[in-house]
Amino acid sequence: MKFKHGTRRRAAEYEKDWVQRWKDDQTFEKSVAQRSADNAYVFYDGPPFITGVPHHGTLLSSIVKDAVPRYWTMKGKRVERRWGWDCHGLPAENFVEKQMNIMDRRQIVTNSDQSAPLDKDGNPLPTISLEKYINKARESMVANSETWQGVIDRIGRWVDFKGAYRTMDKNFMESVWWAFKQLYEAGKIYEGEKVLMYDTKFATPVSKAEVPMDNDAYQTVTDPSVYVKFKLLSGNTRRKVTLDKSSKILFVCNANVVRSQMAQAFYNHFTKTQNADSAGVNAEKYPTAKIRTVADFDTHLVAKNLDPLAVIDLMREKGIEVGASQRTQLTKDMLCDYDLVVNIANRNQTPDWL
């Protein structure tokens, strides 16, 4: 049988037709209502960020999750599927600030008396009130929900959009605080410390999950390097001021660590060994060296034939302020009776006194 060009219905048309049939017949609603509430299967679906149109990543996980309630529905369970919208967090703020062309968080002001931040040329940036910013965020969240609903229907997923919750709704936020209060009173909440990445634009710590792996997430910057020239003492006596002509050059990638670089380990007579019985020191060449074993200081060995005061000289040359208390700390004879400081684990100098 031959078909004329343009007379056959396209697959997308069949798809839209079936979606409309399900809506007209209320197929999804009936699949829930026909089953007893006493025989329920509770299904919690984490809400997506409503910061743009759906894409492959969000739709793939949504399709996989849809298989779970469908399976239990066929097993005779009542599975209510309530949709939700995540309207909080950095994705929502970033989405709105791009729309409003906000380049600096300080452009959002709480009162008209606040001074405007300056751009790189020294010109004041336009400001926006906090109230207007919040209203714009709410409007954007509502507008994008219509796009999402159309796409979710097209992929054949059944969910309740009419009763959808939004994290920006007052009743939802109060429910979260109530749950947190219950955990706190039960002694399940504790305060600790954790190293996190920091977003300089939004002025807040961020988790790894909030950092997209694309070209906008990282910026290539040029960081100054520092070369430190350590002067060596003419003998093993720490308090001698007479210096010989020898010196040691240390390359520091990050200038910020200069403050903590108390001394430099320069002997090359160490191996990679971390055996407590063998510190890796050439005992024949240094028969009088007093060495603490690796087990004593967690892979650190200790010595004393350096002049850490050279660090102070370098800091002053670079314009770094050195306080009296810091100078006192550096000049103390804190290297005791040992002859060298080195970290065998990474073959680097120790960042501070042990």
Q: What is the DSSP string of 114-134?
A: SPPPB-TTSPBPP-EEHHHHH
Residue 263: per-residue pLDDT: 47
Residue 346: per-residue pLDDT: 37
By CB atoms closer than 10 A (0-12, 13-18, 19+), residue 136 is: middle
Q: What single-letter amino acid sits at 81?
A: R
What are 264-273's pLDDT values in tens digits? Answer: 443 333 333 3
Residues of the chain with pLDDT under 70: 1-9, 210, 212-218, 223-354
Residue 199: per-residue pLDDT: 79
Residue 3: per-residue pLDDT: 55
Which residues are 300's β-sheet partners? 343
- CA gap 68, 146 in Å, rounded: 25
Residue 280: per-residue pLDDT: 43
Q: Which two tokens stand for residue 314?
A: 């370098």
Residue 213: per-residue pLDDT: 59
Residue 347: per-residue pLDDT: 38
What are 168-222's pLDDT values in tens digits? Answer: 889 999 999 999 999 999 999 999 888 888 877 777 888 777 676 555 666 777 7
Q: Is the pTM of this model over 0.85?
A: no
CB distance 290 to 339 below 8 Å: yes
- CA gap 133, 92 in Å, rounded: 12
By CB atoms closer than 10 A (0-12, 13-18, 19+), residue 159 is: buried
Residue 212: per-residue pLDDT: 64
CB distance 127 to 101 below 8 Å: no
Q: Name the CATH superfamily, with its identifier, for domain 11-103+129-192.
A: HUPs (3.40.50.620)
CB distance 93 to 191 below 8 Å: no
Q: Which two tokens stand for residue 190?
A: 């504790």
CATH 3.40.50.620 domain residues, the chain: 11-103+129-192
Residue 70: per-residue pLDDT: 95
By CB atoms closer than 10 A (0-12, 13-18, 19+), residue 297 is: middle
